[in-house]
Amino acid sequence: MGSIKVNFFHEHVIVKSPGLEEPTPWHHDHPYNCIDEIDSCSLWVPLDPVTQKTAVEFIAGSHLSGPLFQPKIFIGTDYPTSKDGFEIMPDIETERKHHQILAFDLGPGDCAAFHFRTVYGALGNCS
């Protein structure tokens, strides 16, 4: 990484039980954190095997430019509109063919590392 040190900011656990059809809404992590996102990344570490069909999906290159998007509550509802300069997330699901969407088969202990401004989401867990 070319860094002298690395700071661990925080951790949280998200459980998506088998049969849960609710998707994780498209979002990026920057608006949820009170740190400079330029040199920050998130790590997604599955504890069970995950196929591309149920894995987190990332929009390639979405971290490089563009607006900051309004945070979402994970039931998919927007927080009340703020005056912080955040835009409303476009409806990625209806525009999927216009994006390069990446997903990976991952096993327990594998890790997906991605920039705080990468737009990502996940379908429900129909496994």
CA 58 to mean position of chain CA atoms: 7
CA distance 74 to 27: 9
Domain positions in the chain? 17-76+84-127
Vertex 112: Cα angle to 37 and 43 (nearest 5): 45
From first to last of its 127 residues, the chain has per-residue pLDDT tens of 788 888 888 888 888 888 888 888 899 888 887 776 678 889 999 998 999 888 999 999 999 977 888 887 776 566 766 667 788 888 999 999 999 999 999 999 899 999 989 999 998 887 7
Domain 17-76+84-127 CATH class label: mainly beta
CA distance 23 to 13: 16
Count helices and strands (H / E) in the chain: 0, 6
Q: Identify the sign of the CA torsion 68, 64, 14, 55.
A: positive
